[in-house]
Amino acid sequence: MLKAIPPRFTPDLLWAIAAMGHGDRIAIVDANYPAHALHTRVLPLAGIDTVQAGRMVTALLPIDDFVEPAAFWMSPDGRPDENFEVHALFRDAVQAAEGRAIPFASLERSAFYAEARGAFAVLTTADLRPFSCFLLTKGVVRTTAPPKESP
């Protein structure tokens, strides 16, 4: 528990998003995702849904604007254009945090697994909504000011 950061930010989550560099990806996935089969760094967010997790992560983690799309959601195999309400809700949360339009690409289930394997970490959630799985690419923080001491 820290003064300025809510306790739902676990120590491992803070470590991971701070340790990630430009181009590294983080997966945010639903409760049915085979996280341990695909990833070595599995970070549980108990009681959090994917939209909340996306809002948490993007409050601190910048989204890439060098290479777009920098954000992805999972869609059913063979139906990449199917609409899911959770996809729109997640995108809204990310766009609000970034203050700009963020293009998302759709990855069919098998392709999502293949892309997600390379992610720096996966955040597992309690979300039961189907295809509520996302991949975000970290961007850069641009500043010419010297580092400030207080967060």
Q: Which residues are catalytic?
A: 22
Six-digit token string for 126:
């309690």
Binding positions for a second copy, 98-137, rule CB under 8 A: none
Q: Which stretch binds a second copy (CB under 8 A): 13-21, 70-78, 108-116, 125-133?
A: 13-21
- Shortest Å distance, C-beta 97 to a second copy: 8
Q: Report d(CA 42, CA 8) in Å as an integer.
A: 16
Q: How many residues bind a second copy (CB under 8 A)?
A: 34
Please state, in angstroms and rounded to a whole number, the distance separating the CA atoms of residues 28 and 83: 18
23 contributes a contact to a second copy by CB under 8 A: no
| Closest CA relative to residue 137, chosen from 61, 74, 86, 50 | 61
Among 31, 42, 59, 89, binds a second copy (CB under 8 A): 59
> Whole-number minimum distance, CB 47 to a second copy, in Å?
10
